[in-house]
């Protein structure tokens, strides 16, 4: 079996980094989307949801332009580090974060807004600041949504192809992810290798999702917050 372990490791690394960063920036963003009363909030919501409908190549193309040496951002990065963002692992991370943003933010926001607003009122009358209310009430009661968001972001990053191809290219050990590797194998009529890698990816993703949904399952008598840390 000629599984490309290097590509596999790279893909998992990318998915872990991206879902960790998405967790960190997704929480405040989802909080803002849920609780803000700004009248133009819907514009931000639409912007966040854009990658769901946009072809990855469109996003990848604009990212390539934005990260390349002709754009101000690309030039600034190049002057700081000596190389461009495009065709690097960092560039891949930036692209993947944007591409997977709605898959983390939307479940987060949905679970925040499903917390009974009376609990928030009760928390405030007991002297808690919005910040404390968020960490003591909203977050613990949103654990299933948080898990779902992180897992979806992880899985979505694992399987992405278009964005990676556009801004990452195909550099072994740097930007060649599993999906690119499979595509290459098929192009080279190397079906056995493609099958081995594809099967491994399939089993891995299924195992992760099974584990998460299994732990996160809701039954009428079993409250969902029992899996999450409370304090």
| Residues in touch with another protein (CB under 8 A) | 116, 118-119, 121-129, 132, 136-137, 140-141, 223, 225, 230
Q: With respect to another protein, which residue has the nearer C-beta, 137 or 174?
A: 137
Considering the complex, what minimum distance in angstroms separates the CB of residue 126 from another protein?
4
Q: With respect to another protein, which residue has the nearer C-beta, 100 or 133?
A: 133
Q: With respect to another protein, which residue has the nearer C-beta, 72 or 229?
A: 229
Q: With respect to another protein, which residue has the nearer C-beta, 75 or 223?
A: 223
Considering the complex, what minimum distance in angstroms separates the CB of residue 143 from another protein?
9
Per-residue tokens: 113: 């807004």
Considering the complex, what minimum distance in angstroms separates the CB of residue 114 from another protein?
13
Q: With respect to another protein, which residue has the nearer C-beta, 213 or 225?
A: 225
Considering the complex, what minimum distance in angstroms separates the CB of residue 227 from another protein?
11
Considering the complex, what minimum distance in angstroms separates the CB of residue 22 from another protein?
24
Residue 30: which of 150, 172, 128, 199 has the closest Cα?
A: 150
């Amino acid at each position: 079996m000629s599984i490309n372990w290097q590509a596999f490791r790279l893909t998992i690394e990318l998915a872990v980094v991206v879902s960790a960063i998405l967790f960190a920036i997704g929480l405040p963003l989802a909080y803002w989307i849920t609780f803000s009363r700004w009248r133009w909030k819907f514009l931000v919501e639409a912007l966040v949801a854009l990658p769901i409908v946009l072809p990855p190549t469109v996003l990848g193309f604009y990212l390539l332009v934005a990260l390349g040496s002709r754009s101000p951002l690309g030039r600034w990065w190049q002057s700081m580090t000596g190389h461009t963002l495009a065709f690097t692992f960092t560039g891949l991370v930036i692209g993947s974060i944007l591409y997977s943003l709605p898959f983390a933010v939307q479940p987060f926001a949905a679970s925040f807004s499903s917390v009974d607003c009376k609990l928030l009122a009760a928390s405030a009358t007991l002297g808690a600041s919005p910040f404390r209310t968020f960490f003591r009430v909203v977050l613990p009661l949103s654990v299933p949504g948080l898990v779902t968001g992180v897992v979806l972001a992880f899985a979505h990053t694992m399987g992405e192809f278009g964005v990676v191809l556009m801004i990452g290219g195909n550099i072994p050990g740097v930007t060649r992810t599993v999906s690119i590797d499979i595509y290459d194998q098929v192009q080279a009529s190397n079906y056995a290798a493609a099958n081995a890698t594809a099967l491994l990816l399939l089993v891995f993703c299924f195992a992760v999702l099974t584990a998460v949904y299994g732990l996160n399952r809701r039954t009428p008598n079993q409250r969902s917050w029992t899996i999450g840390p409370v304090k």
